[in-house]
Structure 1
Amino acid sequence: MRIVAVADTHTYHHELVVPEGDVFVHAGDLCRRGQDLKELEDAADWIKDLPHRVKVVVAGNHDWMFVEEPGRARAILADRGIRYLEDSGTEIYGVTFWGSPWQPEFNAWAFNLPRGRPLAEKWALIPDTVDVLVTHGPPLGIGDANDYPGRHGCEDLLARVRQIRPKLHLFGHIHQAGGLWNYDGTTFANVTTWECERGPTVVRLEPSGAVGEVVPAARTR
């Protein structure tokens, strides 16, 4: 399975050159203001027209319509054959995926939760057997550094990932920290495209479940 993943397109998606693959994953922040359904419709039309057989979307902190008008927002994706994951999972060709949009509270964004118990309760929903985990935000200490002091990932997410050990964890949110890391049998990828400053990330899952070829995103500008 060849997975092509992006995040943080913020309505700049038409500028991306998207490689071929089996599954396309958008790890959140399709939109810019996020309160205009036309932004989502445009992004959804773009995803629909991509050649990948299966498309998966997780919302991000800019995607307010999934909070304010969840029924309409979900229908826009469903009508285009796109699988939306919000604390939910799907199986694709025998590979299990789970998606969640939450991140530690920062300013007045969508899908913000305080650190500690509120976030831990969301991560506890992740099943013990997941092959590919897709979250909008990163775990603590992995792909989570930006211009603000300190690290900005979620400690409780890291703890849950260490428990379940997915083969692959895809996320975005922190624009300055795109990249790939391998720890304890899990490949972590911050797949941000940062408004298309970077290209998509490509990961191949072998039939055994192991992560094979990985093509890190290149800068486009």
Structure 2
Amino acid sequence: MLHKIFSPVRPYTCASFCRPNPTILGRILSSKRRKIRIIILSDTHGDDLKDVSLPRADVVLHCGDLTNDSRSADLERTLAMLRTIDAPLKLAIPGNHDFSLGPGYWRRTRARSHPAQQQQHDDGGMPAQTSKAEVVDEEDDADTKASWELLRRAARRDRIFLLPQGTHTFVLPPDAGGAGGGGARLRLFASPLTPRRGNWGFQYDRSNPYKWAIPPITPNGDGAVDVMMTHGPPRGIRDGTGMGQGGVVPGAGCAGLLAAAERARPRVHCFGHIHGAWGAEVVAWKREMVASGAGAGVGGGADALRGPSAPIFGNLVDAQRSRVVASLLPASKTTGGGECSLGPPPARVTQRHHSPPREEGGCCAVDISPDGEHAVEPGAQTLFVNATMELRSRPPRMPWLVDMDLPVAGEEDAAAAAETICRLLL
């Protein structure tokens, strides 16, 4: 859809952003990996960060729900907030609250009840042959067009890109900030989809599970994707709804997404959507890495995504070697909501001691690089981050600041990154 909305970009824009010149490539190839900093946040719902001053980073990831009711005014505030963050690349996906950005949403829901359509509209002066629903639809279409115009400008002027579903390659520009990650290659899978609950946007029916086309890990252990960014969580990991009598209740996540994450084994899988489950944990995968990531064993193949045989947490995750990094304190009976905690987190399992996350620049900071305090073993572990912000909560939940290492881009990576940027801008 993006290519139909964004107008063509000047050729030098893509080249200057994605293709380091031969001299710069020669310099960065002297080191095979670069350490980068990623700021991760989600579910800001049109709020700003006026009370938070975030540190410089290489990449910002916003995992959806840019707005509260999919209006351009909310989106404009979110884009203004992203502009204030000092980072050369900012990537976002829609969430279920950003429903109007989905193709044909208003046409499909014209006759349905929806919170955003329960407002009272003055129908005075309408032509006799025009129904009230049609007037509402026209107004919503106009606001949706305004939202897409804001996104087009943000992409061209500010390098804030709304990603369509799929795998994307980026090369951080030579002047990247934060941890000095210039020249690093970032492969990222993005998706706004969540299981259906109500009449929101970017949803699929649980009765027909979505088949996640995420590239599996490569035989040499180099991730086909370094980061997965989805709006919703996988089943059993940071997916508690918080709606049960006993507190947080797991089960809102997608089992197929868990299986896809196990096959892909990215270094980081970040998401939002479930507000009561803010936090992060390092998950160890149970199986030995399968070269192609396909077919045999638990979690492989399309058949594993259907019916009662759908993969579950215990089949794929080695709980004895997994650990919680940080989590919300338990909900109190008086407040009904969790509080942000940077103390020693409740352990999922018995595990050797790891340092609690640091607070840095208004973020919850964790280093998963090989020499970091929460080092993640490529191909064997993944850091899962629920980054729901809840800026209106007291205290507000912090964004995440993740340090990780990525390979230096080669010529093929630079070409793939140039293609990605052109596709997003056209």
TM-score for both structures, normalised by structure 1: 0.85
Instruction: Answer yes or no: is the 8 Å Cα contact 1:48–1:81 preserved in 2.
Output: no
**For the residues of structure 2 that align with 1:200 and 1:191, how far apart are their CA atoms?**
6
* RMSD, aligned α-carbons: 2.0
Aligned counterparts of 2:185 and 2:233: Cα–Cα separation in 1: 25
Tell me by how many angstroms 1:159 deviates: 0.7
C-alpha contact (below 8 Å) 2:196/2:205 kept by paired residues: yes
1:199 to 398, 402, 410: 398
Determine helix, strand or coil for the equivalent of 1:206: strand
Is 1:30 aligned with 2:62? no
SS in 1 for 2:262: helix
Choose which of 162, 165, 171 in structure 2 pairs with 1:87. 165
Preserved contact between residue 100 and residue 136 of structure 1 (Cα < 8 Å):
yes
Equivalent position to 2:384, from 163, 183, 188: 188
1:179 aligns with 2:274: no
Give percent identity, aligned residues only. Answer: 33
Matched, 1:62 2:62: no
Deviation at 1:73, TM superposition (A): 5.9
Q: Which amino acid aligns with 1:24?
A: V
Letter paired with 1:45? A
The structure number with the bigger radius of gyration is 2
The answer to whether the 8 A contact 1:41-1:76 is kept is: no
- 1-structure distance, mates of 2:236, 2:79: 32
Letter in 1 for 2:405: E
Give the secondary structure class of the aligned counterpart of 2:57. Answer: coil
Alignment gaps of 5+ in structure 1: 210-221
Residues 128-149 of structure 1: per-residue CA shift (max 9 Å, x gap): 3100010000000000002224
Q: Is the 8 A contact 1:85 1:98 kept in 2?
A: no
Distance 1:85 1:116, change over 3 A: farther
Residues 8, 172 of structure 1: 8 Å contact kept: yes
Distance 1:73 1:104, change over 3 A: farther
Distance 1:174 1:27, change over 3 A: same
1:118-129 aligned at under 5 Å gives the runs 118-120=209-211, 123-124=212-213, 126-128=214-216, 129=224
Q: Does structure 2 conserve the Cα–Cα contact (< 8 Å) formed by 1:66 and 1:74? A: no
Shift of 1:43: 1.2
* Distance in 1 between residues matched to 2:68 and 2:153, nearest whole Å: 17
Q: Find the partner of 1:78 among 137, 145, 155.
A: 155
Q: Given that residues 7 and 29 in structure 1 are in contact (C-alpha distance below 8 angstroms), is that contact kept between their aligned partners in structure 2?
A: yes
Structure 1 residues 141 and 73: CA distance shift in structure 2, 3 A: farther
Structure 1 pair 164/207, CA: closer, same or farther in 2 (3 Å)? closer
Displacement of 1:45 in angstroms is: 2.1
Question: Does structure 1 conserve the Cα–Cα contact (< 8 Å) formed by 2:272 and 2:388?
Answer: yes
SS in structure 2 opposite 1:202? strand
Q: Runs of 5+ in structure 2 lacking a partner?
A: 1-35, 106-143, 172-183, 217-223, 285-380, 409-426
Any residues of structure 2 matched to 1:130-145 within 5 Å, and which?
130-145=225-240
Q: Quote the Cα distance in structure 2 between the aligned partners of 1:76 and 1:31.
A: 17
What secondary structure sits across from 1:25 in the alignment? strand
Greater share of strand residues, 1 or 2?
A: 1
Count of residues in Structure 1 that have an aligned counterpart in Structure 2: 205
Q: How far apart, in 1, do the equivalents of 2:89 and 2:192 lie?
A: 19
Query: Secondary structure of the equivalent of 2:96?
Result: coil
Q: Separation in 1 of the partners of 2:208 and 2:150?
A: 28
2:259 aligned to which of 148, 159, 171: 159
| SS of 1:204 mapped into structure 2 | strand
Larger mean CA deviation between 194-203 and 93-102 belongs to 194-203
The CA distance in 1 between the partners of 2:195 and 2:89, in whole Å, is: 29
Partner of 1:213: none
- Could you list the per-position Cα deviations for residues 56-78 of structure 1 after superposition, in whole angstroms to 9, with x for gaps in the alignment? 10111111232154854642432
Indicate if the aligned counterparts of 1:103 and 1:119 stay in contact, CA closer than 8 A. no
Contact 1:29 1:62 in 2 (8 A): yes
Q: Displacement, 1:116?
A: 5.2
2: CA distance between counterparts of 1:176 and 1:103?
A: 16
* Cα distance in structure 2, aligned partners of 1:16 and 1:64: 28
- Alpha-carbon spacing, 1:73–1:107, altered in 2? closer, same or farther (3 Å): farther
Match of 1:85, as an amino acid? Answer: L
Query: How much has 1:183 moved relative to structure 2?
Result: 1.5
Using the alignment, how far apart are the partners of 1:145 and 1:39 within structure 2?
27
Inter-partner Cα distance in structure 1 for 2:208 and 2:186: 29
Larger displacement relative to structure 2 (170-179 or 200-209): 200-209
Give the distance between the partners of 2:192 and 2:264, measured in 1 at CA: 18
From the superposition, tell whether residues 114 and 208 of structure 1 become closer, same or farther in structure 2 (CA, over 3 Å). Answer: same
